[in-house]
Structure 1
């Protein structure tokens, strides 16, 4: 058994995998769960730090403190070199990411009963769209963070390729497969030849026909669902007495996971107080001001995320927003959701078509489309991807586990 592991540091959830004979690859990271939500809560009342589900529970319980989520989204942005204030102290974002990954390492080693000195980290095909230099910087940053968290050696694998390795371990014939990995922050694709005879090869470069991706994922679907269906109830699109529109920046910050805390500055609250005085629809701005004063942005984002999941499963949902003042009850339906994310899914469809074009492969030559990633269940997205490969059968992977399991296989091959 190797002392190397596979680390899927995800925008929404993270996993760690370890290859061992006759055992499942993914390790239990929190109360028997194989996933750890990528969240950290700094509890000001108890001067303590919690992670994962415990972090979300502490935040929702109303403890005074600071919740950080979607940490991976900082990679490839200028924010990664900045800092935030936590419990009255300045905390660099790099240190925050290293703290979370060190916790992943600690928990995985406790579950495995051994230390992991080497790790293969999953990475999106593009951390940054259309900027190869910035993409390299983002990967190097993640490598430095992994080393700071305690790994002696860090390698990388594209996340859709890792998912391909997991799928390949379960098939008995050769296939040309489109891997569609729809995560929290990115949609990544690989076109690859898989099969039992190919699985044992140490070098798979010739089997990979094309990789591609786009910086659109589940948090973007949350964002535009919120902007379409919830934020108008807090004043988005409303007007001041001067007939100018209420600035939209507050709503975009609150609808975007990794910028929610920007809405909590003293300056932002003062500006909102002025807007409230001059607003035509003061009740709506009052809700917004209450939300900001009580720092309920992450709670609202979680409620919208739950609505998105319900819409993906059943086509309808109801959000009971009882922490707003006055409270709101918002009905959601699949048609409105489709309208809100249509521009995003069109961009994803174009990315898949471009992948096929780059590979020189006809759409009807693809045997299988393998869906994985936590956001791969969004119906409109699935329909648009499937339409690009009309003859391919659709296979459902483990939405939260395929990448981690594949990274574990790759770690065994890379480090022995």
Structure 2
């Protein structure tokens, strides 16, 4: 009889699925996809009319960046203001959109196994939207519904940093008290727990988890801060307009806050906003930088701009200088960014993570001296400013890391004990 379970890390930026063979107690494969969906501009009757992951990027670029390109879907799970969006005359709520990515992962894994696997441990952040019980319940309900829509009949949920910890546990040789930090695109989560290689696979791990917490800040927050500081001036943030003679005003900054957040940019296409932008453009005497904003929205260029921001962030995790460069449809950006400048841009968000970390340690009575090791995972853990934070806070504690993009999924796959509740 086939007996497998899937460990699924549905992430803001990337998602991963690990296939666990319960007989051999081994992970036999791990699949990763970017958490992206693309709906072509023209729907074909009777066809699927959407693609996921790398195919979403390919399709979006091949179609001249038309259609609907959706990123960072995880961030809308906790937002009661998001009810649904209409694409190709079909309504999609939050669970529907998440289910498309989960279904894609499941189909790929089922094809490898040769049967329909119904069993999954799905990761979730400690808090979907800071410590707000109502939002957390809403997000958890939506994620549960998405799993059902994707075809999973048996589902359990595990905190993502605990999943990361269980992956790390398979690499150590003795018992350790470990502080795990899972720094993803949308959230930063912490867990303090006892790991012991002799306990790996044990059915009762509840006593080993001593504290968990999280904050709603991640790599997307850094990208938004960068877009606000360095990107929006190229899209007319400081544009002046004269609607009445002699009265010169600055275009409302709320327009530019919208283009700094992916989940808002996805749905930033209302007729009223479009009319307002046309008026501002007219009364600014056709300011070329404000024209860039109209071009950005009309041509759905947000993803390609944020790709440039992401490249800058990645390069600055390896070197001292990078170029923030973008050239498309008369939008021209070319600016050198130093690591010091980048650290200044993200300083407020890093400070918030640091403040929450201090609060987490204090509220759970964790003495830094009792921490044997740190385990950092998630793509945002590669950012130099983040690494500096942990080195400064814990100068004597060894810092470890695994595969920053698959550690959580693998650890979730090791969490089969949750089905014995």
Q: TM-score, normalised by structure 2?
A: 0.91
Between the aligned partners of 2:217 and 2:14, the Cα distance in structure 1 is 16
* 4+ runs deviating over 6 angstroms: none
1:143–1:135 Cα change, 3 Å: same
Tell me the alpha carbon deviations over residues 147-205 of structure 1, each in whole angstroms, 9 at most, x when there is no partner: 12211121100000000000001100111111010001000010111112332432222
1:74 maps to which of 72, 76, 86: 76
1:230 counterpart residue number? 231
Tell me the residue number matched to 1:35.
32
CA distance in 1, matches of 2:137, 2:346: 29
Per-residue displacement from partner, 1:346-400 (whole Å, max 9, x unpaired)? 1111111122212312112211111101111011112113322222101121110
CA 1:209/1:319 → structure 2, altered by over 3 Å: closer, same or farther? same
8 Å Cα contact 1:304/1:319 also seen in 2: yes
CA distance in 2, matches of 1:23, 1:156: 20
Q: In structure 1, what is the Cα distance between the partners aligned to 2:174 and 2:368? A: 20
For structure 1, the residue ranges without an aligned partner over 5 or more in a row are: 28-33
Instruction: Give the number of equivalent residue pairs.
Output: 409
Listed as ranges, the matches of 1:219-368 within 5 Å are: 219-241=220-242, 242-279=247-284, 282-368=287-373
Distance, in Å, in 1 between the alignment partners of 2:138 and 2:296 is: 36
Identify the residue that residue 31 of structure 1 maps to in structure 2.
Answer: none
> Which string of whole-angstrom CA distances, capped at 9 and with x for unpartnered residues, describes residues 281-323 of structure 1?
8121111122122221222122212221122222322233111
Residue 30 of structure 1 is matched in structure 2 by none
Cα distance in 2, alignment partners of residues 389 and 25 from structure 1 = 36
Q: How is 1:170-189 mapped onto 2 (pairs within 5 angstroms)?
A: 170-189=171-190
- Helix, strand or coil: the match of 1:335? helix
Of 43-52 and 217-226, the range deviating more from structure 2 = 43-52
Cα deviation, residue 233, structure 1 = 1.6
1:272 to 1:173, Cα distance in 2 relative to 1, 3 A: same
Deviation at 1:79, TM superposition (A): 4.0
CA distance in 2 between counterparts of 1:414 and 1:386 reads 38
Give 1:412 deviation, angstroms: 6.2
Q: Which moved more, 1:276-285 or 1:305-314?
A: 276-285
Structure-1 separation of matches of 2:240 and 2:369:
51
**For 1:44-193, what aligned pairs fall within 5 Å after superposition?**
44-45=41-42, 47=44, 48-61=49-62, 62=64, 64-80=66-82, 82-193=83-194
Q: Note closer, same or farther for the CA distance 1:110–1:415 as it changes in structure 2 (3 Å cut).
A: farther
Is the Cα–Cα contact under 8 Å of residues 26 and 405 in structure 1 kept in the other structure? no
Counterpart of 2:408 (choices 403, 406, 414) is 403
Going from structure 1 to structure 2, the CA distance change for 1:100 and 1:206 (only over 3 Å counts) comes to same
Deviation at 1:272, TM superposition (A): 1.0
Measured after TM superposition, the shift of residue 45 of structure 1 is 3.6
Q: Secondary structure at the match of 1:288?
A: helix
Q: Tell whether the 8 Å contact from 1:235 to 1:281 is kept in structure 2 after alignment.
A: no
Q: Distance in 2 between matches of 1:99 and 1:162?
A: 23
Q: Which residue of 1 aligns with 2:398?
A: 393
